[in-house]
Structures are given as structure tokens and as C-alpha cells.
Amino acid sequence: MGKLFEAFPSLESRILVIRKMTEDDVDALSEITNNDLVYRYIPPFLYKKSRGNLLAAIRNLGGRDFDKKKMIIAGIFLRSEPNRLIGLAEIFDYKKRIGQVTIGYRINEDYWHRGIATETVRLLIEYLCGSIGIQTLKAFVMPENVHSEKALLKNGFVRESDTIQGQNWGGQESVALNVFTYNKVDDDS
């Protein structure tokens, strides 16, 4: 098993590539971060930042933040369009002691309803649980975001009975968030 911050992940399926972003991705990232519909159900991370701030973010996310073991924010690309950033795959809130991490994703509106979120979640599970050995994945979703909920459920996440309070999601000061959990299934059972 590898370690989570040993090397920046590069994940591939027949549909997607998830990899470190480069400065060439700044314009496509700006399309995502300047779309109010993308941010309707998520926290304002990178929301409406200037081109200069997005360039700095790309450098920091692939460098400083990764090196500090803070988070992994990778670009999502279609195999058929390998140089066009279409979303972000997010790994954060790593709790090494209990083998838990939180995942998230945000997809360019032009690519919604194509199974990209579902495939992103599948690749993240395969990488985090299969290659790294993480035991539990968490995800948080505003109740209105039914499409995100479906992507998680299709991949074996289970909705917890309790909700938590999120701050500044979808431009709202405080919102209820549904909690979803994926527990790694041991092959030895």
C-alpha cells in the first residue's frame, strides 16, 4: 500500500484522467469557478477568483498544499479531450489515525449529466481504498443536490441518518448537509 501524500495521484479509466493541473488549465478552471450554477450546492473554494489568483492556486494545489499534506485537488479530464480541464476531484480532511478522508468534486456545467461525477467517485474509491488503504470515505451533500447524491449511492456510499451543519455552502450562511460514508470492504472476510 502506498501513502496518501507519497506522490500526486494520476488516475485513469477508459473515460477519465484525473491528474495534477498545470498553468495551462487556468482558463478552463476560471469557467468552472465563475459559474454560479456550479457553486449552487458547494462551498466557495476558488469561487470567482481572478486569473492571477487561480494561477497561484494551481501552483499551490500541486505543490505547497500537497507537500504540506493538506489536501489533494486534482483536475478531471476526459480521455477524448486530455488537455481540457472539466472539473476538480478533491481529497481533504485526512485522518490518518482512523484511516478516513473526505472527497468532493465539482464539474463544469457543460459536462453535467454524463456520468463524470460517478466515474470520478469510482476512481477515487479505487485509488484511496485500493491503492492507499483508506478504510472510510466521507462526502457531504446539500439535500437539494440529488445528482451528487446519486453519484455517491451508485458507488456504494450510504447516507447516514444524521445531518450536519455546513457553513457557507451554496452562498447560504448555514445549511444542513447529508453525510455519506463509504467503508472499504475487506477481501479477507
> At 76, which CATH number?
3.40.630.30
Please tell me the total count of domains within the chain: 1
pLDDT for position 1: 64
* CA–CA gap between residue 147 and residue 79 (Å, rounded): 23
Look at residues 50, 140, 64 and name the one whose alpha carbon lies nearest to residue 101: 140
Give tens-digit pLDDT for 86-126.
999 999 999 999 999 999 999 999 999 999 999 999 999 99
Average pLDDT over residues 33-42: 92
Q: Is 36 contained in some domain?
A: yes
Q: What is the pLDDT of residue 2?
A: 73
Query: The whole model's pTM is what?
Result: 0.94
**Percentage of the chain with pLDDT > 90?**
86
Mean of all residue pLDDT scores within the chain: 94
Asked if the structure places residue 3 within a domain, the reply is no
Quick check: is 5 in a domain?
no
pLDDT band for 186, please (50, 70, 90 cuts).
low
Q: Is the pLDDT of residue 138 over 90?
A: yes
Amino acid letter for position 22: T
| Mean per-residue pLDDT, 27-48 | 92
- For residue 22, give its domain range: 11-183
pLDDT band at residue 185 using 50, 70 and 90 as cut-offs: confident
CA angle 103, 104, 107 (to 5 degrees): 150
Integer CA distances (angstroms), 66 to 23, 118, 162, 164, in order: 16, 24, 31, 27
The pLDDT, as a whole number, for residue 189 is 43
Residue among 57, 11, 5, 12 at smallest CA distance from 32: 57
Residue 2 domain-assigned (yes or no): no
Contact, 166 vs 172, CB < 8 A? no
Domain contains 188: no
